[in-house]
């Protein structure tokens, strides 16, 4: 096995285990609340808020950490932070739990940015779409494993604490493998003669592309969070289908994006179908067949364009590892910031409508449409990057 594929195995598995630890903890929240003396759901919601802030902060500073410490050391620190999931099943107080979860979330936020310069460095242009697709579904794979396997894990390992501990131990194993094999130098990008030049966060903030690129995705992310936060509570339970068909869609997206250098067309088609499916799922009412079909289409077309979306930025003319790092730092931090504000507005609209979700559903589906609208402003990269 070539080193680059083993590096990708470590990246994918580390983030998948992060998802398993995070989603698994959410599933055991009642037990965790009892163990740490938490008495209200408000305290539990603070944990979610902590993760949100960790994501915004972590993704924003990720490019700076790469420049300051180098990608190897930066990823090492992020992996150590993710390994703090070991604290969750044994936390004795709310404060300990809150701090450990915040730091764990910070590690996860850093890693999703680090994916991109590492992929850009190690993989040839004709390989990147597949690798980007794999990284895009790492969290979904971890979520699906816990969604369908938690009861089996508890039966095998004996308790929820043991289950979370095993996941954390596997994260430590990934950290050790990284320390042994993760020697990376980003100074000479793979298969390109592009000269590495300084490109700071300030430069990135001045670049209109970064704003347009982030805002294209942010509406989709906001909808995704609302979907899993609010929809099940009102009887729309087809979120499992969204997860499963999302994985299938991402695999199809890898295949498609690996066969063509045209990225924008798949973004526009997927964006349009996303909006239609989002409205269909939201307003299906008691029609379970329609809800299932819309959920399946939504999941598939949410993740089908992700390999193309990520690869699109990597293929821009004049791109370097440093520019990649800044672009995706801003991409994720802006997206998470928007995705933090939108669910609050959604909930407020429900409250203003005395518990009626119609206005809120219309609002969030229109927000989701930012993916389609944003894609209309993107243009195909002039230079073909297929090797």
| Dihedral sign from CA coordinates of 79, 81, 87, 88 | negative
In percent, the amount of the chain with pLDDT more than 70 equals 93
**Stretch 189-195: mean pLDDT:** 49
DSSP secondary structure letter of residue 84: G
Model confidence at 368, pLDDT cuts 50, 70, 90, reads very high
Q: Which has the higher per-residue pLDDT, 240 or 59? A: 59
Reply yes or no on whether the pLDDT at 106 is more than 70. yes
pLDDT tens digits, 197-249: 678 889 999 999 999 999 999 999 999 999 988 898 888 888 889 989 999 99
More confident residue, 53 or 330: 330
Predicted pLDDT of residue 42: 65
Mean pLDDT in residue range 179-205: 70
Pairs from 99-103 (Cβ < 8 Å, separation ≥ 24) = 101/25, 101/47, 101/50, 101/51, 102/50, 102/51, 102/53, 102/54, 103/54
* pLDDT over threshold 70, residue 186: no
Q: How confident is the model at residue 383 (pLDDT cuts 50, 70, 90)?
A: low
Specify the range with the lowest mean pLDDT, choosing from 1-10, 53-62, 138-147. Answer: 1-10
User: How far is 338 from 12, CA to CA, in rounded Å?
Assistant: 26
- pLDDT-derived band of residue 318, with 50, 70 and 90 as boundaries? confident
Return the H-helix or E-strand segment holding 42. helix 41-69
- Given this model, what pLDDT does residue 387 score? 35
The dihedral built from the CA positions of residue 149, 111, 336 and 313, taken in this order, carries a sign that is: negative
Q: Is the pLDDT of residue 160 over 90?
A: yes
**Mean pLDDT value across residues 313-336:** 91
Q: Determine the Cα–Cα distance for residues 323 and 131; give it in Å rounded to an integer.
A: 19
Q: For residue 73, what pLDDT band results from cuts at 50, 70 and 90?
A: very high
Residue 382: pLDDT band (50, 70, 90) is: low
* Residue 187 in this model has a pLDDT that exceeds 70: no
* Residue 126 pLDDT exceeds 90: no
For residues 162-176, average pLDDT? 96
Q: How confident is the prediction for the chain on average, in pLDDT? A: 89
Query: What is residue 192's predicted lDDT score, i.e. its pLDDT?
Result: 47
For each of the domains in the chain, give its residue range(s) and CATH number, in order of start.
1-181 (1.20.1250.20), 201-387 (1.20.1250.20)
Smallest CA-to-CA distance from 36 within 96, 85, 82, 102 is with 96
- pLDDT category of residue 293 using cuts at 50, 70 and 90: very high
């Amino acid at each position: 096995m070539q080193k680059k594929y083993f590096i990708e195995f470590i990246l994918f598995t580390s983030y998948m285990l992060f998802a398993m630890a995070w989603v698994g903890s959410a599933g055991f929240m009642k037990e965790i609340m009892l163990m740490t003396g938490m008495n209200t759901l408000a305290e539990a919601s603070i944990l979610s808020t902590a993760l949100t802030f960790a994501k915004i902060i972590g993704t924003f500073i990720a490019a700076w950490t790469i420049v300051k410490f180098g990608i190897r050391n930066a990823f090492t620190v992020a992996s150590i932070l993710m390994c703090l999931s070991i604290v969750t099943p044994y936390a004795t107080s709310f404060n300990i739990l809150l701090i450990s979860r915040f730091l764990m979330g910070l590690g996860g936020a850093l890693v999703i940015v680090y994916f991109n310069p590492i992929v850009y460095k190690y993989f040839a242009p004709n390989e990147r779409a597949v690798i980007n697709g794999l990284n895009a579904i790492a969290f979904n794979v971890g979520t699906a494993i816990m969604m369908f396997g938690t009861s089996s894990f508890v039966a095998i390992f004996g308790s929820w604490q043991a289950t979370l501990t095993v996941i954390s131990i596997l994260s430590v194993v990934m950290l050790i493998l990284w320390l042994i094999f993760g020697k990376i130098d980003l100074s000479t990008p793979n298969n390109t003669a592009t000269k590495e030049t300084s490109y700071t966060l300030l430069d990135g903030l001045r670049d209109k592309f970064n704003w347009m690129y982030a805002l294209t995705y942010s509406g989709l992310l906001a909808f995704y969070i609302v979907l899993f936060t609010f929809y099940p509570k009102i009887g729309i339970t087809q979120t499992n289908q969204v997860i499963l068909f999302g994985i299938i869609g991402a695999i199809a997206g890898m295949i498609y994006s690996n066969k063509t250098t045209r990225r924008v067309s798949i973004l526009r088609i997927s964006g349009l179908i996303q909006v239609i499916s989002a409205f269909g799922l939201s307003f299906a009412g008691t029609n379970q067949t329609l809800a299932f079909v819309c959920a399946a289409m939504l999941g598939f077309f949410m993740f089908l364009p992700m390999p193309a979306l990520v690869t699109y930025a990597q293929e821009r003319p004049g791109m370097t590892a440093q520019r990649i790092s800044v672009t995706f730092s801003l991409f994720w931090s802006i997206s998470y910031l928007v995705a933090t504000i939108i669910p609050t507005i959604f909930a407020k609209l429900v409250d203003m409508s005395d518990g009626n979700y119609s206005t809120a559903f219309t609002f969030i589906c229109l927000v989701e449409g930012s993916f389609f609208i944003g894609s209309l402003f993107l243009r195909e990269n002039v230079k073909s990057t297929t090797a």
